Structure 1
Amino acid sequence: MTHPADGGPVPVRILVCDDHVVVRAGLLALLDSAPGIEVVGEAGTGEEALALAARLTPDVVLMDLQLGAGIDGVETTRRLTAAPATATPQTGSGRVPHVLVLTTYDTDADITRAIEAGATGYLLKAERPEELFAAIHAAARGRTTLSGPVAGRVMANMRSPRPSLTDRERDILAQLATGLGNREIARALFISEATVKTHLRRIYDKLGVDTRAGAVAVAKEQRLLP
């Protein structure tokens, strides 16, 4: 693709979303030196990223996963990559950008949620600048790029799939890991104690355990906890 005016290549339009101001500033300075990349906007929250993406129509959104208050990077990714037919001013424009996750988190749960939400690639912030630039250009073409450790986890999961837990089961498992009892978990999640017990039985069956301690141990071993 060429620029209509001078025949040069059209730069990849980037929107950066990260809730840390210093990190954003560093990324903007880094990307400013990258050939063929143009930063068109920056956002500190998921909601701001959705609004800017609808207005600026970037090719790629560089997305952090943890965004503080409001919706997280996974939910933002899900809304950004929604089909144009279902897009709204709150969920993005008719043009669907590619989302490249750039984060410090590499747990199986984070990787799975991001990919299921529609992320085109998943990079760790420890990557070299050249790897980031290449991943951005690849994402703009719809090609998947994964950091080495992330790719290793994905392959390992394909060879030995992790138990498939629902979002609610993950919520309960996370509460369980903090040492809360059934009544406290029920209050924290605004559900009944009987519902907690039902979910726990399903969690035990999926993880192949029969105790609370066993469930937490397996969850930590298999990186099922955020």
Structure 2
Amino acid sequence: MQMLDRDTQPKSVGVVGDGDDVAIIETIEDVFKVAITDEDAESIRTLEDAHSLICSKLPNEENEQTKCLTAMAYYRLNRAMQDHGKAWPSERVEAPEAMRPRAFQQQLEEASGLQLPFLTTSSARVNMLGWSILVTWAAGPILFFDLYAIAVGILVFALNIAIWRYATSIDQRVWIFRGTLADLSRQASEENIGQLVSEGGKWKGADVWAVMTKIISDETGFPAEQMRPAITFID
């Protein structure tokens, strides 16, 4: 990996407190199963501050917890997949031909007790409907300028929303996960780190850093691999 010169290293991940910080903190709370107060949030400036705060909220990593997070996820997923034959760590995980991707994801989530949103994504048709809603909302003020026309625009927008909600409810989604059961276990342990820790999983500071930076990267687009402790989190 090419190292950045000190003068060219980024100073901030780009969170300026305009609402992005609230969304990120809420996601951190949900993933790690911790509560971050307003006072806690105000004390965060750098990524190191955020990392230290999260670690302080988790059970002491020096206690008697001995269960590996990935091993915990693997055991649950392996058991959840028994209905589809023997599952080996090196075996690729794909939705069975006889099942829709969404149904298979739901089955694995229910049987394992883990959240696995990274397995599937919305189909192209649902994404197109989502874009049509945005276009309708953006074009409304331009196309409709009197009271009656505005009412028509709102009606059309509401209809789009109703159609989109119906489409998402029946959407069987598209399978996007590419990897083995071992890969799935690692990703599932990151996605459910708070739950697994609360159930006796042993965590490390590196685990917390990896999950935290991924959350921030997903929200801001800032590459996780470029994040350093001293970089500003919230300006």
The structure showing larger relative contact order (alpha-carbon pairs under 8 Å, at least 6 residues apart) is: 2
Interval containing the TM-score (normalised by the shorter chain): under 0.3
TM-score by length of 1: 0.26
Higher strand share: 1
TM-score by length of 2: 0.25
Higher helix share: 2
Rg larger in structure: 2
